[in-house]
A and B are shown apart, each in its own frame.
Chain A
Amino acid sequence: MQINDELENTITARNVPDIKETLKNGKVAIAGLGGLGSNIAVMLARIGVGKLLLVDFDVVEPSNLNRQYYDLTHLGMLKTEALKSQIEKINPFVATETCAVKVTAENATEIFKDYTVVCEAFDNPQDKAVLVNTLLENGEKKIVAASGMTGFDSANKIKTKKMFENLYVCGDSEPAKQEGIGFMAPRVTICAGHQANMALRLLLNIRVC
């Protein structure tokens, strides 16, 4: 037990001091475990966020490997299970809950009910809107969403913006012309970094982006 405590403390020893307990008590839900969500979850696990909810109905495919936090051994596995196993290998002191269903307007409130910070990391824009609208209409959650991170345009265009009282949006805010031009690991991961950092700030009760 003492060895475990020591390992847990050592994993986060290089974190900013004095926030360990706050992060350990922190809970973040991640909706969608693709290029954004898988990277967000791993970053939050590395810094020692106590509990993560991983939500995705899909399985890992070869075409995911250009940007998502999986490897060849995960092909065919549910993303929820693959990511849970990755997190256990990185920081086993993080508790993960998984939910392998498609999020809809009907089930979203129930799925995310125990989490006040939710990272929206879906691929499809309609799914993004359904999740954001449903959660904002039904309670006081803080949502960190993403919009616009395709291609290899300048990394400096990706920003975090506070759009509503409880909605932060990370991305380049470029209109639909960006769609369909492909996803590359660097910009997707940068956007995931923006989301993870905003989620961290919200856990620390910092509301500005």
Chain B
Amino acid sequence: MYVNGKQIIIENIISLNDFLKKEGYDTQRVAVEKNGIIVPKKFFEIEMLCNTDKLEIVCFVGGG
């Protein structure tokens, strides 16, 4: 799987939500595109990932 351009091998099928948590992301601060399509927040728990997927993750930090 490619995450923001870097290859990550996942051993077992995993939900997007669990993957984000495992990687240390705060899921309340992210937007995610999977294979070029935005993943709606409400589907994070049922969206399953595999090694052929391409993820782009934007994690916002505060300030404005």
What 1/0 mask marks residues of chain A from 120 to 150 whose CB sits below 8 Å from any chain B CB?
0111111011001100110000000111111
CB distance from A65 to the nearest CB of B (A): 15
Contacts of B56 in A (CB 8 A): 163-164
Contact A129 B29 (CB under 8 A): yes
Query: What are 28 A-B residue pairs whose CB atoms fall within 8 Å in the complex?
Result: A34-B64, A123-B62, A124-B62, A125-B26, A125-B61, A126-B28, A128-B64, A129-B30, A129-B31, A129-B60, A132-B31, A132-B60, A133-B40, A137-B41, A147-B60, A148-B61, A163-B33, A163-B56, A163-B58, A164-B33, A164-B56, A164-B58, A165-B33, A167-B31, A171-B61, A175-B61, A179-B63, A188-B63
Pick the residue among A123, A132, A136, A179 that contacts B64 (CB under 8 A): A123
What 1/0 mask marks residues of chain B from 28 to 46 whose CB sits below 8 Å from any chain A CB?
1111010010101100000
Which partner residue on chain A sits nearest B27 by CB separation? A129
Contact B64 A121 (CB under 8 A): yes
Name A's B-contacting residues (CB within 8 A): 32, 34-37, 121-126, 128-129, 132-133, 136-137, 145-150, 163-165, 167, 169, 171, 174-176, 178-179, 183, 188
**10 nearest interchain CB pairs?**
A125-B60, A128-B60, A123-B64, A125-B29, A136-B38, A36-B64, A164-B33, A34-B64, A137-B40, A147-B60
Contact B58 A148 (CB under 8 A): no
Within 8 A of A (CB), among B43-63: 56, 58-63
In the bound assembly, the distance between CA atoms of A34 and B36 in angstroms comes to: 31
Q: Is the interface of B mostly helix, strand, loop or mixed?
A: mixed
CB distance from B27 to the nearest CB of A (A): 9
Name B's A-contacting residues (CB within 8 A): 26, 28-31, 33, 36, 38, 40-41, 56, 58-64
Contacts of B41 in A (CB 8 A): 133, 137
In the bound assembly, the distance between CA atoms of A150 and B60 in angstroms comes to: 13
Contact B31 A176 (CB under 8 A): no
In the bound assembly, the distance between CA atoms of A178 and B29 in angstroms comes to: 15
Give the interface centre of A125, A145, A148, A167 by most chain B CB atoms within 10 Å: A125
Contact A129 B28 (CB under 8 A): yes
Contacts of B28 in A (CB 8 A): 125-126, 129
Task: Knowing that A136-B31, A137-B41, A167-B58 touch, tell me 6 more A-B residue pairs with CB under 8 angstroms.
Answer: A125-B26, A129-B31, A132-B60, A146-B64, A147-B58, A169-B58
If A128-B29, A129-B28, A129-B30 touch, whether A164 touches B64 (CB-CB below 8 Å) is: no
CB distance from A181 to the nearest CB of B (A): 10
Which partner residue on chain B sits nearest A146 by CB separation? B64
